[in-house]
């Protein structure tokens, strides 16, 4: 959608603007477009308490029910109660490997639709389009899907197989983009947009209420050049909205260690930089080792990619290999064999904290001659201190440094590591990959959104300092005014499986608020005009599922 061709009148206040077009924004758009969940008259839920609550008012849409009441007594893998509720309704007992039918039925009710715009920098799917395309996703395929379109059915139609009941990021990105088209949500999506400011707008003397102003730039294709190429231009836009939803995710800015030498050219902060080096032929079995810093899944993917090339790998991370918080200790071995392999490597081939000179690096002293650790070979003893490890190396060319941190990177491509006990070791590398997560880009908010976090003096991060929201509405607690919501990774919800709960919480609150305003006779002519134009764009179209969709 081109914002300048959308016939939004000057001064017109939109009901909702969603910033971010990843799975969070897509799911919320689906719920705001008139797709409404009800309890099916034929289905039952394996949780008898939840089922009995749902049966108390079966005529009411889930969006109109008391979500806090329905959440009582539910337990799950998310700290967000509405996320646990919606996941339990969409995928009952999926944590136990069971395939219960969802008790929800979806009805298309266009009269419930709330006009909205979804703004995103790229195509629908958000950061999934920027992820590495060949690795398998962490989540099961059905955990990645959105309501109304089974991922497995879509992949079967595309003649793709779901390996190990998991899909690749490239497939997931394609699915999300197709989902927007299949559900005819395109009219609400404005891609190629970069939001530069979100501010609270005071009311005007003419009676206009306070609202949110969203400004930014939209990339548009300009004059066509020779060879079929076009010159793109960025056109400014400014929107007014009663409600604004922050759904940008947290993949914008790679996290940094903030140590000496981190800006040197051999230090990288993304998996793509490793892939680019591989494609240029810079890494092979004769290369100096690469250093991978981090113990998450992206770091594991880097270890696997280098190992595939027989490029030696040093792997440094802060946690112990037995730490319950380490993601590898939370994954079933049979379902995630490639990550179990990395965990084996981390466990079996550790650098000893009391190294022997003939096999390992010397302790670092400012004036000492620096040397690098020796990798274990199939015929040499393993470097781990674990008595249960095998007597020979299963993975030559790999050495882990648990409970180590990077002290400095040096121009001569040496990296200084330090253990918890204070021992320092220096390694010579060809490249260093710092893969310790990413932070959101909230530069469009005052002070980068810090005042909205649980700890207002610290930057917003997914794990340590998410945006603080009401658990049953996802309203931002510290917002400058009413009508600001946040969802997805910004509130600590990393998995698609659970971020759908944020969409339910927000859509439910907006639905109830709209009903209250209509009951009081509020809303105004501007909102009525928007609703009329929204309804005028809708048509009834026959699909395979015999449902109505929005006209694109």
Alpha carbons 172 and 178: distance in angstroms, whole number:
10
Alpha carbons 406 and 258: distance in angstroms, whole number:
10
What tens-digit pLDDT sequence spans the chain (552 residues)?
Answer: 667 655 566 678 999 999 999 899 999 999 999 999 999 988 888 899 999 999 999 999 999 999 999 999 998 878 899 999 999 999 887 666 666 788 999 999 999 999 999 999 988 887 776 665 445 555 555 678 899 988 878 877 775 555 556 677 778 888 999 999 999 999 999 999 999 999 999 988 777 889 999 999 998 876 666 566 666 788 999 999 999 999 998 777 888 999 999 999 999 998 888 888 888 889 888 899 999 999 988 899 899 989 888 999 999 999 999 998 888 887 777 777 888 999 999 999 999 865 444 444 444 333 333 445 766 654 443 333 332 333 345 778 999 999 999 999 999 999 999 999 999 999 999 999 999 988 899 999 999 999 999 999 999 998 889 999 999 999 999 999 999 999 999 999 878 888 899 999 999 999 999 988 877 666 554 555 555 555 555 443 333 333 333 222
DSSP category for residue 379 = T
CA gyration radius, the chain: 26
Q: With b meaning 16 or more CB within 10 Å and e meaning fewer, what string describes 202-232?
A: eeeeeeeeebbbbebebeeeeeeeeeeeeee
Find, among 509, 512, 461, the residue nearest to 489 by Cα: 461
Q: Which domains does the chain have, with CATH numbers?
A: 13-250+439-550 (3.50.50.60), 256-351+396-436 (3.50.50.60)
Contact indicator for 93, 148 with CB cutoff of 8 Å: no
The helix or strand, by DSSP H or E, that contains position 290, with its residue range, turns out to be strand 290-293
pLDDT at position 79: 86
Contact indicator for 471, 485 with CB cutoff of 8 Å: no
pLDDT at position 225: 61
pLDDT at position 385: 33
| Side-chain half-sphere CA neighbours of 268 within 13 A | 20
CB atoms within 10 A of CB 380: 14
Alpha carbons 301 and 290: distance in angstroms, whole number:
13
What are the distances in angstroms from CA 95 to CA 89, 156, 220, 389? 13, 24, 44, 32
Find, among 303, 305, 356, 295, the residue nearest to 330 by Cα: 295
Reported as a single tens digit per residue, the pLDDT across 17-62 is 999 998 999 999 999 999 999 999 888 888 999 999 999 999 999 9
pLDDT at position 228: 63
Contact indicator for 507, 30 with CB cutoff of 8 Å: no
pLDDT at position 141: 57
Give the residues across from 424 on adjacent strands: 418
Reported as a single tens digit per residue, the pLDDT across 313-332 is 999 999 999 998 888 887 77
| 3-state SS track over 411-473 | CCCEEEEEECCCCEEEEECCEEEECCCEECCCCCCHHHHHHHECCCCCCCECCCECECECCCC
0.85 cut: is pTM over it?
no
Question: Roughly how many angstroms between the first and final C-alpha of the chain, as a whole number?
Answer: 10
Is 513 buried (19+), middle (13-18) or exposed (0-12) by CB count in 10 A? middle
């Amino acid at each position: 959608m081109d914002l300048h061709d959308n016939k939004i009148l000057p001064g017109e206040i939109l009901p909702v603007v969603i910033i971010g077009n990843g799975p969070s924004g897509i799911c919320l758009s689906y719920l705001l477009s008139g797709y409404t969940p009800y309890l099916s008259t034929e289905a039952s839920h394996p949780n008898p308490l939840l089922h009995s609550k749902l049966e108390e008012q079966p005529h009411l849409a889930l969006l109109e029910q008391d979500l806090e009441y329905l959440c009582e007594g539910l337990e799950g893998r998310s700290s967000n109660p509405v996320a646990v509720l919606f996941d339990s309704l969409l995928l009952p007992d999926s944590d136990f490997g069971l395939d219960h039918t969802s008790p929800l039925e979806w009805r298309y009710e266009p009269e419930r639709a709330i006009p909205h715009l979804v703004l995103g920098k790229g195509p629908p799917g958000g950061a999934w389009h920027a992820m590495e395309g060949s690795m398998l996703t962490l989540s099961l395929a059905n955990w990645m899907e959105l309501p109304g379109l089974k991922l497995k059915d879509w992949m079967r139609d595309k003649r793709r197989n779901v390996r190990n009941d998991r899909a690749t990021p490239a497939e997931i990105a394609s699915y999300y983009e197709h989902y927007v088209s299949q559900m005819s949500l395109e009219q609400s999506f404005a891609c190629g947009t970069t939001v530069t400011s979100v501010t609270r707008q005071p009311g005007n003397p003419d009676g206009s209420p306070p609202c949110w102003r969203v400004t930014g730039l939209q990339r548009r294709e300009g004059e066509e050049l020779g060879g079929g190429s076009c010159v793109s231009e960025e056109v400014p836009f400014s929107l007014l909205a009663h409600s604004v939803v922050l759904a940008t995710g947290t993949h914008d800015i790679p996290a940094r260690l903030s140590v000496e030498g981190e800006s040197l050219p051999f230090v990288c902060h993304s998996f793509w930089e490793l892939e680019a080096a591989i494609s240029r032929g810079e890494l092979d079995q004769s290369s100096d080792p690469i250093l991978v810093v981090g113990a998450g899944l992206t770091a594991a993917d880097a270890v696997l990619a280098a190992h595939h090339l027989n490029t030696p790998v040093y792997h440094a991370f802060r946690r112990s290999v037995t730490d319950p918080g380490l993601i590898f200790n939370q994954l079933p071995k049979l379902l995630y064999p490639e990550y179990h392999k990395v965990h084996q490597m981390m466990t079996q081939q550790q650098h000893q904290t009391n190294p022997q000179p003939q096999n390992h690096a010397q302790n670092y002293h400012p004036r000492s001659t620096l040397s690098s650790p020796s990798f274990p070979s199939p015929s040499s003893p393993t470097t781990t201190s674990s008595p249960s490890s095998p007597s020979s190396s299963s993975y030559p060319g790999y050495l882990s440094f648990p409970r180590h941190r990077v002290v400095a990177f040096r121009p001569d491509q040496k990296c200084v590591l330090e253990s918890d006990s204070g021992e320092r070791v220096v390694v010579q590398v060809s490249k260093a990959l710092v893969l310790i997560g990413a932070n959101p880009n909230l530069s469009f908010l005052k002070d980068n959104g810090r005042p909205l976090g649980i700890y207002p003096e610290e930057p917003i991060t997914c794990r340590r300092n998410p945006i603080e929201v009401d658990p049953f509405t996802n309203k931002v607690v510290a917002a400058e005014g009413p009508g600001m919501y946040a969802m997805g990774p910004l509130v600590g919800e990393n998995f698609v499986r659970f971020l759908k709960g944020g969409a339910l919480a927000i859509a439910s609150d907006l639905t109830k608020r709209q009903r209250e305003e209509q009951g009081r006779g509020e809303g105004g002519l501007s909102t009525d005009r928007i609703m009329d134009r929204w309804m005028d764009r809708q048509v009834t179209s026959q699909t395979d599922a015999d449902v109505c969709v929005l006209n694109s």
